[in-house]
Structure 1
Amino acid sequence: MTTQTYDPDNIFAKILRGEAPCTKIHEDDVSLAFLDVMPRADGHTLVIPKVAARNLFDIAPADLARLMPSVQTVAQAVKAGMEAEGVVIQQFNEAASGQQVFHLHFHILPCWTGVAIRPPGGPFQSAEALRPFAERIIPAFRAR
């Protein structure tokens, strides 16, 4: 376990409580998936657990086991909805690794041959700019 503590006021906790907006892609009893506001690829989606966990070191194994099918389902929908050739799934633990929001999350980045993933820290995108990607990904859940 990490020595750092979970901050219940992090932005993802606020999104889970409905105190901050997101462009939601999917929600089930264990997770919430939404589009990243600083996307590194078109359709870049985040999957977060509904339990409070700072990162992979803090989540109970049983909660992680319940979360991973959601990560898989979201990755399949992102790949299908974005007509991607593949996906990169990233997960960072603590600041030294690049973690910026200290609530466990998985990045689902759709990939296409010859299209580079953009560097982290890109410009913020509005919900309006992200909506077309949501409109492509959400129907892919129903098609499964």
Structure 2
Amino acid sequence: MTDLCLFCGIIAGTVPSVKVAEDETTFAFMDINPGSDGHILVIPKRHSKDLFEIPDEDLTAVTLAAQRIAKAAVAEFGADGVNLLNCCGADAWQTVFHFHLHVIPRYLDKTKDRLVLPWQPGTPGDLEAIDTLGSRLFTTLDGQLSEALE
């Protein structure tokens, strides 16, 4: 826990929240700046700044908790779908630097759903750039796998 972390304060009970679930590793609570009705945050109890720092076991626990909570939220709120969102770094919209997954119920009824996409899915990208970037990443990941197996 860090003294300056808002989410660590929520876990410690010094910052108020509306808790929806808790287990020995994770804590889930309602987002006070929701993108839709029923927007929930799922966090590890152990502080990790972001996706790059979270230990594997905490990431697994948060992801499984988010899946369980998403199923319950969709059923309970009558949502038409759900988004799981993680923002890693200030330029990727992260504003609280304690790893968290947003569980965002989605609704056809836009009075319940204020979240809009910042890009247009279905708009084709530059296939040559996609191929180049994919090949670069494949080579990097394949090299990491080879090193891990040695």
- TM-score, normalised to structure 1, is 0.73
Match for 2:88 among 90, 93, 100?
A: 93
Verify the 8 A CA contact 2:31 2:41 in the aligned structure 1.
yes
* Counterparts of 2:34 and 2:79, CA distance in 1: 15
Equivalent runs, 1:127-142 vs 2, <5 Å: none
Equivalent runs, 1:1-144 vs 2, <5 Å: 7-115=2-110, 116-118=113-115
Q: Structure 2: which amino acid aligns with 1:68?
A: T
* Counterparts of 1:19 and 1:68, CA distance in 2: 25
1:114 Cα offset (Å): 4.8
Deviations 1:90-125 (A, max 9, x none): 100010100000000111111112524346xxxxxx
Q: Give the length in aligned residue pairs.
A: 114
1:75 Cα offset (Å): 0.9
* Counterparts of 1:102 and 1:22, CA distance in 2: 17
Q: Secondary structure at the match of 1:21?
A: coil
Q: Secondary structure at the match of 1:99?
A: coil
Structure number with higher helix proportion = 2
Verify the 8 A CA contact 2:62 2:101 in the aligned structure 1.
no
1:67 Cα offset (Å): 2.3
What percent of counterpart residues are identical? Answer: 34
Unaligned regions of 5+ residues in structure 2, if any? 117-150
* Counterparts of 2:114 and 2:104, CA distance in 1: 8
Q: Secondary structure at the match of 1:40?
A: coil
Task: Please tell me the root mean square deviation across aligned C-alpha atoms, in Å.
Answer: 1.7
Q: Secondary structure at the match of 1:70?
A: helix
Q: Secondary structure at the match of 1:68?
A: helix
Unaligned regions of 5+ residues in structure 1, if any? 1-5, 120-144
